[in-house]
A and B are shown apart, each in its own frame.
Chain A
Amino acid sequence: MRFIKYSSIAFITFVILAGIAIPMVPQPQSWLEFPIIPGLEEKARNIFFHVPIAWVSVLGFIFALYYGFRYLRTKDFDYDIKSVSSAGLGMMFCILATVTGSIWAKFNWGSFWNWDPRETSIFILLLIYGAYFALRSALGQEEVRARLSAVYSILAGLTAPFFIFIMPRIVGGLHPGAKGDTAGSTPMAQLHMPPNMRFVFLIGIIGFSLLFVWLLNMRVRIARIEYQISKKEN
């Protein structure tokens, strides 16, 4: 875990430095120059931070679903602790992604919210997280809470494929890569970037994913201690 901690710090530091310091020029000549993308200009740098954050919010849901599934199979309460911890983190990143995204959208597209497919997807993910925690707080008995929230997360996961197929048909896209081609307007688009940008971007994805694992580990350890304390009190 110490390795994950330090490498996530190192990767994210690298992304912050490289993502902000590397200049953008019209005709990039060397590795230390990014091209200017018309219409985005300096605002393109957001991709190094916003997209990894959005990715982590999806990752949080996948982990919550996986641990929920494990809970149902084993009835081991530790999996519920892991499931709710990653859902909590995922929700935090989901809010961050929504906020950073809509501030960026204000400057780039002129309004905070446009219902473009990926905005809609992140909004639905936020709704799912909200519903998940609303359900948990309405269930008093811990065993029932663990069981039913696991069931709900799996049920919500079952609808994920539909968003990938339905979104492009229903709403037009604004996100980079979405212009005209339907492949680009799915929630997970192929991004066309020069190799050096792609490198920084991938380091960002890895760095933020490791950050998620580290934070999740901390949250799980705290939740386990809280669980032990509440067990003793009874």
Chain B
Amino acid sequence: MNSISITANGLSKDYNHSSIFKDISFSLSSPASLSITGKNGAGKSTLSKIIAGLLSLTRGSITYSVNGKQIGIEEFKHHIGFVSPYLNLYDEFTALENLQFLSHIRSTTQQNSKRIKEMLTLVGLWNRKDDIVGTFSSGMKQRLKYAFALLHNPAVLILDEPTSNLDIEGIDVIWQIILEQKKSNILIIATNNNEEAHWCAQQIQVGTT
């Protein structure tokens, strides 16, 4: 198992002249869990995108290292699984096809169909694998996003609004995933929900000013 760490120093993000958040710092080494809380529009999603390397910073720095060796974000992205309302899958393909070509594009070593089957079974979509994603309900799409995020066995799992659109049974599945992830890897949750926030050992709040 790789030991992973993420260190953020004085993260700030501006949007059209105004600051969304500033001076956020934290440090995580696996196993670790962190929750990001804050009001609507405080920048929880923005911060989670920044950690995943999908948005640039206005000020500050963020470093990633694997087994004590610092690596760049492009390389580190292979260790990240990300579930977010901003990260959609392709509506015109089936659930199975989505996972197949996404892992092809990622070209990870473990793109076997066994792993895909495992993941689809885990989120309870195996019997719907040949249905077009466009016909899925929003809850099913959310489940599929988990299958996508976990497909390459990521060391860092980032969840933005983890339980949105999910039913009780779905939340149960997510709870299992979260417990598993916390044990040895890094988990980051951005949420409004206090209960979800308490799943994590560390907590930061954005946009308190």
Touch A–B, Cβ below 8 Å: yes
A: which residues have CB within 8 A of B? 75, 140-143, 227, 230-231, 233-234
**In whole angstroms, how far apart are the Cα atoms of A75 and B17 in the complex?**
14
- Give the bracket for the number of chain B residues in contact with chain A: under 10
CA distance A230 to B17 in the complex (A): 7
Task: Give the A-binding residues of B (Cβ under 8 A).
Answer: 14-18, 56
For the complex of A and B, the 5 pairs showing the least CB-CB separation, nearest first, are: A234-B18, A231-B17, A234-B17, A142-B16, A230-B17
Collect the chain B residues with CB atoms within 8 Å of residue A227's CB. 17
- A and B contact pairs by CB, cutoff 8 A, 17 listed: A75-B56, A140-B16, A141-B15, A141-B16, A142-B16, A142-B17, A143-B14, A143-B15, A143-B16, A227-B17, A230-B17, A231-B17, A231-B18, A233-B17, A234-B16, A234-B17, A234-B18
Shortest distance from the beta carbon of A79 to any chain B beta carbon, whole Å: 15
Interface SS, A side: helix
- A140 surroundings in chain B (CB, below 8 A): 16
State in angstroms the CA–CA spacing of A142 and B16 once bound together: 6
A142 and B56 alpha carbons, distance in the complex (Å): 14
A234–B15 alpha-carbon span in the complex (Å): 10
A143 to B17, CA, bound (A): 9
Chain A's nearest CB lies how many Å from the CB of B108?
Answer: 31
A144 to chain B, nearest CB (A): 10
Q: Which residue of B lies closest to A233 (CB)?
A: B17
Chain A contacts for B18, CB-based, 8 A: 231, 234
| CB-based nearest B residue for A231 | B17
A140 CA / B16 CA spacing, docked (Å): 9
The chain A residue sitting closest to B18, CB to CB, is A234
